[in-house]
Amino acid sequence: MIEVRNVVKTYDSVRAVDKLSFAAKPGEIFGLIGPNGAGKSTTIRMIMNIIAPDSGQVLLDGRPLCEADKNRIGYLPEERGLYKKMKVGDLLTFLAEVKGGDRQASAQRIDRWLERFDIADWKERKVDELSKGMAQKVQFIGTVAHDPDVLLFDEPFSGLDPMSQDMLLEAFLELKRAGKTILFSTHIMDHAEKICERILIINKSREVLSGSLAEVKQRYGSPTVRIEFDGDAAFVSGLPFVKACRQFPRALEVELADYEDTDKLYCALAGRVKVRRFEQLEPSLHSIFIRLVGAAQEDLNA
Amino acid sequence: MRKLLAIVKREFRAATGNKTFVIMTILGPFLILAITILPGLISSDPAMMTSGKPLALVVSNPLVEAALQQSFSQQGMTLASLSDEAVGKDGVVAGDYAGLLVVPPTWPEQGASYYSSSGTEVVIFGSAEAVLSAIATRQRIGQAGIPADQIERLLAAPGFQVIQLGANLSEEEKGDDDFMGLMFTSLGFVMLIYMTVLLYGQMIGRSVVLEKTVKTVEIMLSSVSAKQLMLGKIIGLGLASLLQYSVWMGMAGLAIRLLGPALGIALPAAVSMVNMGWLVLFFILAFFLYSAGYAALGAAAEDEQHLGQLAWPLLIFLMIPMVMISAIVMNPNSPVAVGLSFFPMTSPIVMLVRLLVSEPAWWEIGLCLGLLVLAIYGLSIAAAKIFRTGILMSGKRHSFREILRWVRLH
């Protein structure tokens, strides 16, 4: 488990990270979400001890991180870089070696991942011949080749085409199933929504909200149900627990006062119209993010 | 340790696995030879200086002309006898003649003149002057009524020997050739150290800057410590340079063994096993000293250009012994030479030269080595601090004052 406690980092006069605390557990994908410049990369660099925090602690399994722990962590920095003149295979072997990975096991893992990302043919080619997307895949393999327990990815999806993004999402889920602790930062809500158990939204160096994705959605979403039906449903808008109602050609989106009212609505519909589809709509993380971060921005502007 | 080894291996392969390294390794000895020997050849060989053009002579006295002919043809130059001074001057201006020597009929009462487009060919007009003054001296002594056989005896130079006195009173006669041998060996050794230290120092500086510009530094620092990364680079490139050294020495040895007897070239006496040992020792020390310096500057620099700007203090320290080498060879125990052989930034080169040409006391060698090792240690620590602080900073150029602040930090 990786735990961040009250870390603070100030550059000159700018506070980059202000009293941030969170924990990512094994077998869990934790998303650090925020707009550009919020302090995500600084936080991840402090976990990696590339930058020392001014105050606060970073703990791995309950004790402060030491030099030897670097071997247990895989890190994909936001600033991607690979030694351009090296062959892909040699580079990956080297990256696993400086992380103290077992040579043979690393070699097997490297081959497996290259295969999986469809770049096995490039193993003997030089890095500077790779396309940007391929280089990013190679960088990902370099991060996992030594089989670390903890994985930190800083904006792992940026610069990838949709197909490669899906490949990476799959890979994340596989690593999670293998019991790895995964922490990644992104400003693309869609990715966080797809794979994260828990999230922390950070804006202007401070935590805006954190918790499990389900909790967050419940806390910040309003209960909305989408109904597709045959018949006349005009009566719905008159029901006492319905706050608002939006009519679409063949569907109805009903905003309720409370989550508890979902059942009441279903009962009210039963027998009066033929329900083909009854779906509890969740607010997207995107909309929550825009609401919270946007509001904060307006507060500042006001 | 395994991590350090992996970095050493990678840096070694990165340094040696490219065409530049192969070309430098093969061409290096020729380059050093060219730099050390060619200027000497050009300035001392009149035939090379005049690039084969004849020297014009306007001389009426046949005795003088014959003496000049003999002297210059020995030096491999051709002469063209003219009767008209004006024709000779036109020829010089047109570039047909390397120069024009005019010895008037009234000579030696009236002096001779030498005309050329540059007026700096001291070897040519120097030897003309020597020939002329020898003839004039003989003529004047003869005119004083002294018989010809006595003139030679009067003018014969007395013997003069230069003897190097060893610590155990051993005597060794030194000739001009010995001096030249020492001079060229010193120059060769110094060039070797200077070039390799400069080359590899810059390579280390660049390699550190490159970590920043190609952005591999974060991955590296998430895997190893800054100290391991820096040490790995220095050792890796150091091994590459030692490989280059051994190839060069092997080539030189082979060339002298195979071609030496045929061409009548022997190694100068100064190139002994002991001196080679000193060379390698001082090279390694100089290498580590300057590598630490360049690594620190590389970490502080924003890009390669900026590195070049920051590197000037190191370059100046490297240049000092180069500029002073002939003074040091001629006066190896002067206070300046002794002082420079203790000051760590210059001592590897200066002490090596002193060891070649004289016999510094053991305490001097010990002090030099001790200070050098201390300096390497101190500079490495400073470098590691600058490295740790500077390696992640980018997008901003730092002044020396700021960099020194990093050293005091922590």
Q: Does B136 touch chain A (CB under 8 A)?
A: no
Least confident of A193-197, A285-289, B134-138: A285-289
Q: What is the rounded distance in angstroms from the CA atom of residue A196 to the CA atom of residue A212?
A: 8
Q: Which of B157, B192, B223 is the last residue of a domain?
A: B157
Q: Is the pLDDT of residue A42 over 70?
A: yes
Task: Report the half-sphere exposure of A139 (CA within 13 A, side-chain side).
Answer: 32
Question: Do B59 and B9 share a structural domain?
Answer: no
3-state helix, strand, coil in chain A (%, to 5): 40, 30, 30
B76 within a domain of the structure (yes/no): yes
State the DSSP H helix or E strand holding residue B372, giving kind and residue range, or none if neither: helix B362-390
pLDDT (average), residues A282-291: 81
Q: What is the chain B residue with the closest CA to A11?
A: B393
Question: Do B211 and B326 share a structural domain?
Answer: yes
Q: Which of A156, A184, A214 is the last residue of a domain?
A: A214
For residue B337, the distance in angstroms to the closest alpha carbon of chain A comes to 44
Question: Do B205 and B330 share a structural domain?
Answer: yes
Question: Do A159 and A67 share a structural domain?
Answer: yes
Question: Do B18 and B98 share a structural domain?
Answer: no
Q: Which residue has the higher pLDDT, B127 or B340?
A: B340
Instruction: Count CB atoms within 10 A of the CB of residue B410.
Output: 8
Question: Do A238 and A207 share a structural domain?
Answer: no
Q: Does B401 touch chain A (CB under 8 A)?
A: no
Q: How many domains does chain A have?
A: 2
Mutation for testing the A interface, residue in B223, B389, B393 having most A CBs under 10 Å: B223
- Please indicate whether, in this complex, the C-beta atoms of A79 and B10 are within 8 angstroms of each other: no
What predicted TM-score, i.e. pTM, was given to this entire model? 0.75
Enclosing domain of residue B110: 46-157
B22 within a domain of the structure (yes/no): yes
Question: Do B308 and B400 share a structural domain?
Answer: yes
Question: Do A6 and A44 share a structural domain?
Answer: yes
Q: How many domains does chain B have?
A: 2
Q: Which residue has the higher pLDDT, B383 or A105?
A: A105
B17 within a domain of the structure (yes/no): yes
B274-319 per-position pLDDT tens digit: 888 888 899 889 998 999 889 888 888 888 888 888 888 888 998 8
For residue A75, the distance in angstroms to the closest alpha carbon of chain B comes to 7
Chain A to chain B, count of Cβ pairs less than 8 Å apart? 60
Mutation for testing the B interface, residue in A42, A46, A98, A99 having most B CBs under 10 Å: A98
Distances (CA, A) of B312 to B194, B209, B294, B307, B375: 15, 16, 11, 9, 19
Question: Do A107 and A174 share a structural domain?
Answer: yes
Per-residue model confidence (pLDDT) at position B44:
62
Q: Is the pLDDT of residue A226 over 60?
A: yes
Q: Which of B118, B120, B81 is nearest to B101 (CA)?
A: B81
Per-residue model confidence (pLDDT) at position B176:
63
- Please indicate whether, in this complex, the C-beta atoms of A75 and B218 are within 8 angstroms of each other: yes
Q: Which of B125, B157, B189 is the last residue of a domain?
A: B157
Q: What is the pLDDT confidence band of residue A181, given thresholds at 50, 70 and 90?
A: very high
Question: Do A245 and A150 share a structural domain?
Answer: no
Q: What is the pLDDT confidence band of residue B108, given thresholds at 50, 70 and 90?
A: confident
A287 within a domain of the structure (yes/no): no
* Most confidently predicted of A146-150, A231-235, A290-294, B166-170: A146-150
- Please indicate whether, in this complex, the C-beta atoms of B215 and A79 are within 8 angstroms of each other: yes
Question: Do A147 and A229 share a structural domain?
Answer: no
Strands A198-203 and A224-230: unpaired
* DSSP bridge pairs for A203: A206
Question: Do B182 and B75 share a structural domain?
Answer: no
B171 within a domain of the structure (yes/no): no
Q: Which residue has the tokens 């924003």?
A: B302
A81: CATH: 3.40.50.300
Structural tokens at position A293: 């971060």
Least confident of A255-259, B76-80, B212-216, B394-398: B394-398
DSSP A128: G
- Please indicate whether, in this complex, the C-beta atoms of A81 and B215 are within 8 angstroms of each other: yes
Q: Which of B385, B307, B298, B392 is nearest to A78 (CA)?
A: B392
Q: What is the pLDDT confidence band of residue B268, given thresholds at 50, 70 and 90?
A: low
Q: Which of A184, A214, A244 is the last residue of a domain?
A: A214
Question: Do B86 and B219 share a structural domain?
Answer: no
Question: Do B136 and B193 share a structural domain?
Answer: no
pLDDT (average), residues A142-157: 92
Least confident of A217-226, B80-89, B331-340: A217-226
Question: Do B51 and B38 share a structural domain?
Answer: no
Binding-site residues on chain A for chain B (CB distance < 8 A): 45, 48, 50-51, 67, 70-71, 73, 75, 77, 79-86, 94-95, 97-100, 142
Q: Is residue B268 within 8 Å of B184, Cβ to Cβ?
A: yes
Q: Which residue has the higher pLDDT, B7 or B326?
A: B7
The shortest CB-CB distance from B222 to any of A70, A82, A97 is to A70
Per-residue model confidence (pLDDT) at position B245:
80
Per-residue model confidence (pLDDT) at position A138:
93
Q: Which residue has the higher pLDDT, A64 or B391?
A: A64
A132 within a domain of the structure (yes/no): yes
Q: Which residues of A touch B10 (CB under 8 A)?
A: 83, 86, 94
pLDDT (average), residues B162-186: 73
B232-257 per-position pLDDT tens digit: 998 999 899 888 888 887 887 777 77
Question: Do B148 and B203 share a structural domain?
Answer: no
B166 within a domain of the structure (yes/no): no
Q: Is residue B173 within 8 Å of B162, Cβ to Cβ?
A: yes
Q: Which residues of A touch B7 (CB under 8 A)?
A: 98
B135: CATH: 3.40.190.10
Q: What is the mean pLDDT of chain B?
A: 83
Instruction: Count CB atoms within 10 A of the CB of residue A102.
Output: 13
pLDDT (average), residues B112-123: 84
Q: Which of B106, B126, B157 is the last residue of a domain?
A: B157
Per-residue model confidence (pLDDT) at position B40:
62
B179-227 per-position pLDDT tens digit: 777 777 788 788 888 888 888 888 899 988 888 888 888 899 889 888 8
Q: Is the pLDDT of residue A295 over 80?
A: no
Burial of B70 (0-12, 13-18, 19+ CB in 10 A): exposed
Q: Which residue has the tokens 């002309």?
A: B65
Question: Do A254 and A205 share a structural domain?
Answer: no
Q: Which residues of A touch B216 (CB under 8 A)?
A: 81-83
A295 within a domain of the structure (yes/no): no
ipTM of the complex: 0.81
Q: Does B257 touch chain A (CB under 8 A)?
A: no
Enclosing domain of residue A189: 2-214
A296 within a domain of the structure (yes/no): no
Question: Do B213 and B107 share a structural domain?
Answer: no
Question: Do A226 and A210 share a structural domain?
Answer: no
Q: What angle do CA B40, B42, B44 make, to 5 degrees?
A: 65
Distances (CA, A) of B45 to A293, B75, B97, B258: 82, 8, 17, 27
pLDDT (average), residues B38-50: 64
Task: Report the half-sphere exposure of A119 (CA within 13 A, side-chain side).
Answer: 29
The shortest CB-CB distance from B216 to any of A67, A75, A83 is to A83
Per-residue model confidence (pLDDT) at position B269:
62
Question: Do A230 and A81 share a structural domain?
Answer: no
Question: Do B370 and B319 share a structural domain?
Answer: yes
Q: Does B393 touch chain A (CB under 8 A)?
A: no
DSSP A152: E
A226: CATH: 3.30.70
Phi and psi of B259, rounded to 5°?
-95, -25
Instruction: Count CB atoms within 10 A of the CB of residue A297.
Output: 14
Question: Do A227 and A194 share a structural domain?
Answer: no
Per-residue model confidence (pLDDT) at position B394:
54
A238-266 per-position pLDDT tens digit: 888 888 888 888 788 888 888 788 888 88
Q: Which residues of A touch B219 (CB under 8 A)?
A: 75, 77, 81, 95, 142
Per-residue model confidence (pLDDT) at position A302:
45
